[in-house]
Homo-oligomer: A and B are copies of this chain.
Amino acid sequence: MAFVQVTPVLLCGGSGTRLWPLSRRSYPKQFASVLGEETLYQQTARRLSGSDSAFSFAAPIIVTGTDFRFIVTEQLIEIGIDPGAVLIEPEPRNTAPAVLAAALHIAKTDPEAILLISPTDHVVPDPAAFRKAIAAGLPAAGRGDLVTFGIAPDRPETGYGYLELAAPPDDEGPLPLKSFTEKPDPATVKRMLEGGCHLWNAGLFLFRARDILAAYEAHAPTLVEPVRKAVDTAQPDLGFLRLDPEAFARAEDISIDYAVLEKATQLSVIPYKGRWSDLGSWEAVLHETPQGPSGTATSGAATAIDCSGSLLRSEAETLELVGLGLENIIAVAMPDAVLVADRSRAQDVGQAVEALRARSRPQATRAPRDYRPWGWFETLVLGDRFQVKRITVNPGGILSLQSHIHRAEHWIVVEGTARVTIGETTSLVAENQSVFIPLGAVHRLENPGKLPMVLIEVQTGSYLGEDDITRHEDLYSRP
């Protein structure tokens, strides 16, 4: 086989609640450090980079939502990976439109390109074994198959879809796919596992762009027109490609499995026997975290005393979590929210989020750090008439030219150098210098430097909401 390039398509528009409070709508689990220092998204991008004896990975295509567009590039920069393209979905429409958009985008320049579609919130502890499975799938993809990867089940999981093979897999080569089974009932699962012909559908696919496009044309033709239009009329914006909102909204909200693969022919399965998890619950995270002899796992500033079968996670350095005499308890502590759940209820964490949402608590959906195009901020303290924020501006980051009607602001630069405009005056503000923005003054903050700039903002005023902002000019075209 000739030397082959594989283009990863990283799907990261999803946002679940099952790992709350770590995962929130504003900052879903793929962007969080769930296992190890790097985020799941970073681990995925790293796993799908570099080269193997059989193939090399091209720069990845990222498909994500508006809210996450700066996170996806920032997190790649952190680990030294350049994105090939970042496609912005105007709204989440499940995987079928996302994959189609990526395929259409790359097909413009290279219809023969081999795509590896991958979720970014799963864990695959053995990247070498996984690359071997990809290599095993390349010949099938090269002859026009749509290749799926099937995970050898280690438990009767009813929450997954299954891939049925004609015969039990006996080696690592591709096998024809007989059928898909979506989330079966327990009796069916039991029967399937006994038969040995069923593998988990991990949402990982390998195919040529032109082959998957042909499959969409054949099996989901109504998707093709709107998504093609959304791609063709996409707006380039600061290195992102914003899919056309009007056209994209007309695409059906449906998974690629339902829309295309379940109807397609020429499907192959590569069995994957290595460890894999979709980290679909804290129970799954406990399973993947190194445990002590009593089956308890701790991470961060967490201490377990006489605990068994428990997961204790502190998500902040300055927050000590202590478990005492716990059995089968999951405790996850953050500075603004703490979950304590019985392990048997790990699937019901969404109820915690619902309870907070019903009481309009920001913790239901918003993470403590608010990511913006230019960096991020977090509130350190909110008083009746004052608020203190820590603001980090990335190198080159430029906040909008703005003013506030109800508040004045003090800025103290504590790391790096800021360029500050107030009215007609622009000046550099160095570490340990401060400036005052009077109420009503038109102002702008920039980081002209090469390092992140950190400043402490002290707001004073009678109303301190984020919506007291008049944007006079904005690099990132926000209203």
Contact = CB atoms under 8 A, between A and B. Distances in A.
Contacts of A352: 303, 305, 322, 324
A345 B320 contact: no
A338 B319 CA distance: 7
Copies of this chain, whole number: 2
A325 B321 CA distance: 20
Given A325-B344, A333-B333, A386-B414, A434 B434 contact: yes
Interface in A321-372: 321-327, 329, 331, 333, 335-342, 344-345, 348-349, 351-352, 355-356, 359, 361, 363
Interface stretch (A174-182, A200-208, A271-279, A376-384): A376-384
A333 B325 CA distance: 17
Nearest to A344: B325
A408 B432 contact: yes
Interface stretch (A66-74, A190-198, A233-241, A452-460): A452-460
Contacts of A383: 414-415, 454
A361 B348 CA distance: 34
A350 to B, nearest CB: 10
A319 B335 contact: yes
Nearest to A337: B320
Contact of A323 (B312, B341, B363): B341
Interface of A: 21, 301, 303, 305-306, 312, 314, 318-327, 329, 331, 333, 335-342, 344-345, 348-349, 351-352, 355-356, 359, 361, 363, 380-383, 385-386, 388, 390, 408, 410, 412, 414-415, 431-432, 434, 436, 454, 456, 458, 460
17 contacts: A320-B361, A322-B352, A325-B345, A326-B342, A327-B342, A331-B340, A338-B338, A380-B380, A380-B388, A388-B390, A410-B410, A414-B458, A431-B460, A432-B460, A434-B434, A434-B458, A456-B458
